[in-house]
Structure 1
Amino acid sequence: MTRVTILIPTYNEEAALPATIAALAALDPPADELLLVDGGSTDATLALARAAGLTCLVAPRKGRGAQINHGVAHAQGDIVCVLHADSLLPRDAVTVIRAAMADPRTALASFMPRIAGPGGTRWGSTFHNWIKTWYAPLIFRPLLFARGVRLLFGDHAMFFRRRDFLALGGCDERVVVLEEAELCIKFARLGRTRMVRRWVWTSDRRIAAWGRWRANWIYLKVGAMWAMGAREELAEHYPDVR
């Protein structure tokens, strides 16, 4: 049986983590490994994860790309799913992951993000999140789009073969925003990238903090800057929300 690791990069996620841990505990079948990689949290993130029985590592440097690299290097699974700490996988996620990656033509896959909060699903932002997986490569990487590549993002709960990630050199640790979109371009060398038709529920906390219109403007602006070559400076345009 193909082993699956769920890898959760964290930094000060004590508020979001309990719901994520509960969803992971409900997985059927369970993941073979639940691996949390922290970036130096100063709150109760690590205490909550350890109490729940997750394997916990502290990355040598903060930054989601660096934390993902550290986690994949230590993961025991053949397939690694990178899950944000404010996202909830469906109960059958492990079965879905195994089935998707059984296709050798698929290099990278993800779930479909459904952005939601206490007020319910934010369908406008959910639709934009979905459609940009099409229009972003169509506009900025048309040759890849013609090959069937779709640009996936971190809140999609991306998953891939561990050996492929290591062979490609992993995440660019200079990139602190859209690091997983950058990774998606690398995986396109090996095969197709696609979303499976199953929701992953992801928090609307950024939209709640920024407002709907500002949030979607930030997503669009940062995505366009990334496509035009901006990397380290992207963090200046993407305020942190915890």
Structure 2
Amino acid sequence: MTPHDVSVIIPTLNEASNLAAAVESAKQAGAGEVIVSDGGSSDATLEIARVAGVDKLVRSFPGRGTQLASGLRVADRDVVLLLHADNRLGVDALNQICQCGDFLWGAFEQRIDSSRTIYRWVERGNNARVRYRSVAFGDQAIFANRSLLKKYGGIAEVPLMEDVELSTRLRKIDKPRLLPGPVTISDRRWRQNGVVRQTLHNWSLQVRFALGASPETLAKSYRS
């Protein structure tokens, strides 16, 4: 397997300021195809996708899970990788997948785009979550064997928590591979809301989801 056997799916909603860098990182990593699944952007996202040379542009109902499921339906490579629009893949990331051997799914170590020391602790915590709880978040660029992913239920068409739902389902079948990557992620949400406050909010969402709260209810909380 080579990086050309990987489809990178990027869900977007008004991501004009971030999308070009995400697409370029996927191309530099050698992706066989880059798919943008848009949930109804009103800014220049679609035009930027075309200029950036994405291979497939999908119009989808909004909701990250719904958009990723729409992208998965048109992907045709052996492996799919789910990349947030404000994330960037390391140039060697797809090669690392190719060296995994047989696998069902996995994710990457993070690098938060800030020099603040507190973010190094956030990165360690997020990586530990994958190692010890087998739960990967979407901003860790989850990847999976496409045919096996479809066999085991695909991606849930929900507005939020599709990553936790996917991890919870797949970890019952196989432990995720955590690769060094890195995937570089924007610090915008932590910067806007405060590192501690945002981290506690993320934990709260996970606990509420585990206790049975619906993704629709949690999405409203997340947006607020």
* TM-score, length-scaled by structure 2: 0.90
Alpha-carbon distance in 1 for matches of 2:55, 2:27: 14
SS at match of 1:91: coil
Query: Aligned residue for 2:144?
Result: 160
* 2:223 corresponds to 1:226: no
Structure 1 residue 192: Cα displacement: 1.9
Query: Aligned residue for 1:53?
Result: 53
1:1-242 to 2 correspondences below 5 Å? 1=1, 3-27=5-29, 30-100=30-100, 102-103=101-102, 106-117=103-114, 122-133=119-130, 137=133, 150-173=134-157, 175-231=158-214, 232-239=216-223
Alpha-carbon distance in 2 for matches of 1:89, 1:78: 18
Structure 1 window deviating more from structure 2 (13-22 vs 150-159): it is: 13-22
SS at match of 1:111: strand
Q: Which amino acid in the other structure matches residue 127 of structure 2?
A: W
Contact 2:23/2:34 (8 A) holds in 1? no
Structure 1 window deviating more from structure 2 (18-27 vs 82-91): it is: 18-27
Structure 1 runs not aligned, ≥5 long? 138-149
Alpha-carbon distance in 2 for matches of 1:59, 1:183: 22
Distance 1:19 1:60, change over 3 A: closer
Distance 1:23 1:118, change over 3 A: farther
SS at match of 2:15: coil
Structure 1 residue 52: Cα displacement: 1.2
Structure 1 residue 181: Cα displacement: 1.5
Q: How many residues align?
A: 221
Q: Which amino acid in the other structure matches residue 112 of structure 1?
A: E
Alpha-carbon distance in 1 for matches of 2:209, 2:159: 11
Q: Which amino acid in the other structure matches residue 47 of structure 1?
A: E
Structure 1 residue 9: Cα displacement: 0.9
SS at match of 1:192: coil
Instruction: Name the Cα RMSD after superposition.
Output: 2.0
Structure 1 residue 53: Cα displacement: 0.8
Contact 2:14/2:44 (8 A) holds in 1? yes
SS at match of 2:77: coil
Structure 1 window deviating more from structure 2 (114-123 vs 225-234): it is: 114-123
Structure 2 runs not aligned, ≥5 long? none
SS at match of 1:114: strand
Contact 1:12/1:42 (8 A) holds in 2? yes
1:126-148 residue CA offsets vs partner (Å, 9 max, x unmatched): 2232233356x4xxxxxxxxxxx
* TM-score, length-scaled by structure 1: 0.84
Structure 1 residue 119: Cα displacement: 6.1
1:18-59 residue CA offsets vs partner (Å, 9 max, x unmatched): 2223323422xx111111111111111111111111024334
SS at match of 2:127: helix
SS at match of 2:223: coil
